[in-house]
Amino acid sequence: MKVLSPLVSITLAQSTLCVAQGYTNESEVPYYGRSPAVYPTPVGNGSTSAAWKDAYQRAKALVAQMTIEEKSNLTRGHDGQCVGNSGAIPRLSIPQLCFADAPDGVRGQEFVSAFPAGIHVAATWDRSLMYRYGNALGQEYYGKGINVALGPVAGPLGRVARGGRNWEGLGADPYLAGGGLGAITKGIQDAGVIATAKHWLLNEEEWRRNPGDMGESLSSNVDDRTLHELYAFPFMDSLREGVGSVMCSYQRANHSYGCQNSKLLNGVLKTELGFEGFVVSDWEAQHAGVATANAGLDIVMPDGGFWGQYLTGAVNNGSVSTKRLDDMATRILAAWYYAGQEKNYPSPVVYSESEKHDPLDVQADHAELIREIGSAGTVLVKNVNQTLPFSNSTRFLSVYGYDATVSATPWANPSRYGGGYEVNFGWNILNGTLVTGGGSGGSTPPYVVSPFQALQERISRNRGTLRWDFYSDNPTPAYVNSDACLVFINAYASEAFDRTSLTDEFSDNLVQNVAANCTNTVIVIHSTGIRTVDAWINHPNVTAVIFAGLPGQESGHSLVDILYGDISPSGRLPFTVAKNESDYGHLLNSTVSFDAFPEVNFTEGLYIDYRAYDRDGIEPRFEFGFGLSYTTFEYSDLQITSTGNSTSTFVDSSIPIVQGGHPELWDVLFDVTCSITNTGDVSAPEVAQLYIEIPNAPARQLRGFERVPLEPGETKQVSFSVTRRDLSIWDVVAQQWRLQAANYTAFVGASSRNLHLNGMLEIV
């Protein structure tokens, strides 16, 4: 296979960019702003594993029996009962494949669960919960007969603080996002459902993501090293876990649309990372026919697009090769076989709200897991004089704020994104508690346990008293006998637009007005991501603050478990909360442009979120990885041990690439261990975090995390496995991951800025 060189000439502007990012060589930005051509599409062969090999053999045998028209039919969307439906070939017993949203629950259906959003799952910092989450999701998709789940999400990564879809993803760090993406992928596919890692790639803002009357979509312009080390990095974990589908994104990347970007699809995804499955377009993200086929797109959604009979014609006239069409069909069927869906897979059971039907309940006992993850992802960021947890003697509470209860009208019109309805919990001020974000990623709760409902349950058991005012921003002064005043606010975001602020005046006024009259004011924020709090965080009467995320249907129970100390908070922030919105600099807003060919230049390179704060010496309000507990912990006994695996500069090129990249990238080079002791008197998990200082890179980068439950006085050893990939940088000249001969400082602690232990990893 011939792959054209990605190296092109460097312009003066690109040279300036290199200097601005601290790069020492102009060639570190070899194609910034201009995506190089990489053709032809690699032909999948199933070399990754025995399971993929078997799937490919069976798929190829089936494709060999098809006509050109049948192959073309397989690669395009069709009308049907699902959000997306592939073509069927009845004579070969190939059914339509059913594609459905969302990454946090089957959308628009009844008797399905509303799981916490991706950003909330990331806040647990717990791979076990991430896997169980994915597996429970997969079980519900399987139960509904849905072949392809459109999730999980690591794009957007969270480059832009006000990005509208950040909440669907798994935090603003590629290692944390990768850990979640891999675990959720494995969980979904262990249930027999094809997972779809999305959105590939550089889908970091909603403004002008699609072409329209103003012109083309925005172009995300990024250098090669940043593309690999930040944005492609988390997808590698999903690929390694065998993900069967990857969704290409809407916007242009280095001036080439995501679903016809041969560098991203043919070059990075299918060559460097050995992807064996199929690439599906985001809905209506195909903007050309022949170009998308030759660039590596395998199936177009939602219906037809530029393919169908046009693809057949392109193959017949030689514009698209028969080999490419065969590969498209083979990849789709190989993923189907790989997931085992040819064996008595349930038929799709997907309804519209207007149809009379017998309901199918797939919820099982998932509410218990949702409640557990809801609590585990709840982040306590302020707790003066141990205001929390409440005791059972805390029997008189005053409750304020629109987010405390469910909306009176939670259901919107049928979603324009296809199929079912969107839930608008908290979509604007006074519209109720927020349990999910908006757009195609939103879930459809079977019910919502609001914070107020859960508080009523607890207070009634304690024979206490509640007083409330949900809608005023200047409520009646607090009842003098109240033990505490709880204020509930939220911050909404959605697909199709980016946020305009990280705060809002109504909510800030509400907090300040309650705190002015109540000496024990506890603030609870349900949010789709970053929410700044400096308008009131230092008010002497604000005694506790909780970032309660997007916890799903069991929201109130998860929160009250924390408030009353049934569970100690262990959630940690998956992003940085600044003191001022201006502290995010040019990474605050989406790039609003009315040009016919809008640009967004990723001039910050590797320096997003905490990496930028560390570089620039900016003190955040709450740093990445931060969160409080009801107990205290002590770290000790750091040990760093070399495994003896090869530390050559580059991997062995004679070893074939498999899905997820070169196998040696996943070799463990060092084991880092330490001991953690619960020095308090409350049972609680601690989230230990490993950061490594990699030469010629950001000062500290997350490279390990572990959530460790500990009884009072108990000590446990925590171990982090550090791989070659974890220590490597992307060499844009060699077009390989490069391990540097140097000393790497390892830090272990409780956040990106609360680091208790350090030691040295030496590579010679």
Q: Which of 225, 170, 173 is nearest to 199 (CA)?
A: 170
Can you list the alpha helix ranges (DSSP code H) found in 549-674? 555-563, 610-616
With vertex at residue 200, the alpha carbon angle to CA 310 and CA 102, rounded to the nearest 5 degrees, is 90
d(CA 165, CA 155): 9
Q: What is the DSSP-derived secondary structure letter of residue 302?
A: S
Maximum separation of any 2 CA atoms in the chain, in Å: 83
The set of residues, in sequence order, having a beta carbon less than 8 Å from that of 72 and lying 6+ positions away, is: 307, 308, 309, 311, 312, 315, 325
The set of residues, in sequence order, having a beta carbon less than 8 Å from that of 135 and lying 6+ positions away, is: 187, 188, 190, 191
Cβ atoms within 10 Å of 677's Cβ, excluding its own: 18
The set of residues, in sequence order, having a beta carbon less than 8 Å from that of 443 and lying 6+ positions away, is: 102, 104, 105, 107, 113, 114, 115, 117, 423, 435, 436, 552
Question: Sign of the CA dihedral 492, 498, 501, 506?
Answer: negative
* DSSP class per residue in 166-190: GGGS--S-HHHHHHHHHHHHHHHHH
Cα 503 from chain centroid (whole Å)? 22
Q: Which of 223, 191, 477, 548 is nearest to 341 (CA)?
A: 191
Q: Which residues pair with 759 in a beta bridge?
A: 746
Q: How far is CA 107 from CA 90, 419, 449, 685, in A?
A: 28, 8, 18, 32
Can you list the alpha helix ranges (DSSP code H) found in 462-504? none
282, 473, 726, 731: the active-site residue: 282
Reply yes or no on whether 469 is catalytic. no
Q: Which of 323, 320, 327 is nearest to 306 (CA)?
A: 320
Phi, psi at 12, each rounded to 5°: -60, -40
d(CA 172, CA 166): 9
Q: Are 485 and 520 in contact (CB under 8 A)?
A: yes
**Which helix (H) or strand (E) segment is 141 a member of?**
helix 127-143
The set of residues, in sequence order, having a beta carbon less than 8 Å from that of 378 and lying 6+ positions away, is: 123, 546, 547, 548, 549, 551, 558, 559, 562, 569, 571
d(CA 47, CA 590): 41
- Residues constituting the chain: 764
d(CA 166, CA 122): 12
Q: Which residues pair with 491 in a beta bridge?
A: 527
**Which helix (H) or strand (E) segment is 142 a member of?**
helix 127-143
Q: Which residues pair with 706 in a beta bridge?
A: 688
Angle between helices 451-461 and 555-563 (to 10 degrees): 50
CB burial of residue 652 (10 Å; 0-12, 13-18, 19+): exposed
Sheet bearing 521-527, strands edge to edge: 379-383, 542-547, 521-527, 484-491, 396-400, 465-469
Cβ atoms within 10 Å of 634's Cβ, excluding its own: 13
Which residues are catalytically annotated? 282
